[in-house]
């Protein structure tokens, strides 16, 4: 890039480039060179804004986690409306887009990145997955309070089951994409007991 050309919102430009690389090449293809090439900037631009590549990756993960706040608010707002299984199915499909799945892989396999993220949130689990479980658990808590699932439902355990199952459904980048029917089938199996017992 020529000197003297101002970059608009460089951090966001680099994050967007990283997401495109993740979509194309997965977590293993995400390097500082791949990101700066994709963004169309000199490699030094990344290092002017971040201490090192792991600092960049940590902020990329934090940005993804921040996006879940809006998703969590929307899901909680859906409590009491529509089918519980349908609400959860939609949430899991939106949650496990290919970028999010790649980011989870990145966190799991990069020790230095995981260590940096743990400084923010000691013992909080794998970023993105932990927030997803909290989001699903919060929604199920709302549904439980409204009497749409059993009053004794363990919403945290259900959330972990749904997030784990959702991650497994979407984790294979090279496999066939999972349609809503496959996701809903799993959701219905996980919540069948608490929905059925509500009716007794």
> Could you list the residue range(s) of the whole structural domain that residue 152 is in?
62-198
Co-location of 36 and 84 in the same domain: no
Same domain, 182 and 88: yes
Q: Which residues contact 14 (CB under 8 A, 6 or more apart)?
A: 35, 36, 39, 41, 45, 46, 49, 56
Q: What is the pLDDT of residue 177?
A: 55
Burial level of 104, CB count in 10 A (0-12/13-18/19+)? buried
Total count of domains within the chain: 2
Residue 17 to residues 20, 21, 35, Cα–Cα distance (Å): 5, 6, 6
Residue tagged 């020790």 (tokens): 111
Confidence at residue 16, expressed as pLDDT on a 0 to 100 scale: 95
Residues 166 and 97 in one domain: yes
Q: Please report, to the nearest 10 degrees, the dihedral formed by the alpha carbons of residues 71, 73, 77, 78 taken in order.
A: 20
| Residue 37: CATH number of its domain | 1.10.10.60
Q: Are residues 26 and 125 in the same domain?
A: no
Same domain, 12 and 42: yes
Q: Is residue 1 part of a domain?
A: no
Q: pLDDT of the chain along its 200 residues, tens only?
A: 444 444 458 999 999 999 999 989 988 899 999 999 999 999 899 999 999 999 999 999 999 989 888 899 999 999 999 999 999 999 999 999 888 999 998 998 888 898 888 887 766 778 889 999 999 999 999 999 999 999 999 999 999 999 999 999 988 755 555 678 999 999 999 999 999 877 65
**Phi, psi values for residue 25, rounded to 5°:** -120, -5
Q: What is the pTM of this model?
A: 0.86
Longest dimension (CA), the chain: 71
């Amino acid at each position: 890039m020529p000197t003297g050309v101002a970059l608009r919102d460089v951090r966001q430009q680099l994050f967007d480039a990283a997401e495109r690389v993740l979509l194309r090449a997965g977590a293993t293809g995400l390097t500082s060179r791949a990101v700066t090439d994709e963004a169309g900037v000199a490699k030094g631009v990344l290092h002017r804004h971040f201490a090192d590549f792991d600092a960049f990756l940590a902020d990329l993960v934090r940005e993804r986690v921040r996006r879940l706040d809006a998703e969590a608010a929307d899901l909680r707002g859906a409590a009491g409306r529509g089918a519980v299984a349908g609400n959860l199915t939609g949430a899991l499909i939106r949650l496990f887009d290919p970028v999010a799945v790649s980011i989870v892989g990145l966190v799991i396999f990069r020790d230095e990145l995981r260590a940096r993220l743990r400084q923010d949130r000691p013992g909080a689990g794998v970023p993105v997955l932990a927030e997803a479980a909290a989001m699903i658990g919060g929604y199920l808590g709302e549904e439980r309070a409204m009497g749409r699932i059993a009053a004794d439902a363990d919403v945290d355990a259900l959330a972990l089951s749904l997030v784990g199952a959702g991650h497994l459904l979407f984790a294979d980048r090279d496999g066939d994409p999972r349609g809503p029917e496959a996701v809903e089938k799993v959701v219905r199996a996980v919540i069948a007991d608490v929905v059925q017992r509500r009716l007794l």
